Amino acid sequence: MPNPLAPRYWGAHLLALVLVGIAVGLGLWQYDAWQAHRAAEAVDLTHAEPIPLADAIGPDDPFPGNRVGQPVTVSGTWVPDGTVYVSGRVHEGADGFWVVTPLEIDGADGAALPIVRGWVADPADAPAATGTAALDAWLQPTEGTGVRDDDPSDDVLPQLRIADLIQHVDQDLYGAYGVAEVPEDGLEPASVDQLPEVGTFTGIRNLLYAIEWWFFGLFAAFIWWRWVTETTAEAPVTEDEAEPAATDP
């Protein structure tokens, strides 16, 4: 059988090595891009610098998925009649309520942003919100746990869903709510429940490209293997491939 490492085969071996190396390298590049896209979407914004609310979302805008947990600065006038209490919220192991009051945002044509002012064990102990306020809050999308409200007529809600809050206020509401970074006096801090989640298809194109390049590399390696197998099996042995015969002393 001819020697597959003979010099006349070196060019083919080198070409196969280059093609496989390029395919693997490009596959890794696309894989890194896929991971970068997912990491960028999952970044925790809660420690970022606050930005004006208008730079994150408008009164009629859908919630921007890349702004979950983004600190925003808001100012406006409290709408105390719209205060609700969201049940089932835990603080340091104790069950209690979020105290949520809409804040009519300055310069937003009367639209209000629901603000989680803090946590309280008993709604009766929650201080009233009056006057104006300027504060920083973590931006959150509306909740949708599917929990049923047994009594829609009261001011206790099982989840913070904007569609449910609309029934308690006359103002238009933003498609989001804010969690106050600093709770009001008499309230405990509320935790940020929702952080960015990576979508299933985030960066999927890069992942598919990576798989495509790796498949091409495997295909090139297979073609090289078949070529070596068939060529060395059929080709005649040349002088540079032949081993010198052993001589008897």
Q: What is the pLDDT of residues 163-180, one digit of tens each?
A: 889 888 989 999 999 999
Residues 6 or more apart in contact with residue 190 via CB below 8 angstroms: 89, 91, 98, 116, 117, 118, 119, 179, 180, 183
Q: Is the pLDDT of residue 196 over 50?
A: no
Token pair for residue 166? 């609309």
Q: CA 158 → CA 19, 25, 94, 177, 237, distances in Å?
A: 59, 51, 16, 15, 83
User: pTM here?
Assistant: 0.63
Q: Which residue has the higher pLDDT, 182 or 202?
A: 182
Q: Is the pLDDT of residue 27 over 60?
A: yes
By percentage, how much of the chain surpasses pLDDT 70? 82
Whole-number pLDDT of residue 40:
58
DSSP 4: T
Residue 26 DSSP SS3: helix
Categorize the per-residue pLDDT at 240 as very low, low, confident or very high, splitting at 50, 70 and 90: low
Rounded Cα–Cα distance for residues 11 and 17 (Å):
10
Residue 190 DSSP SS3: coil
Segment 7-28 shows an average pLDDT of: 85
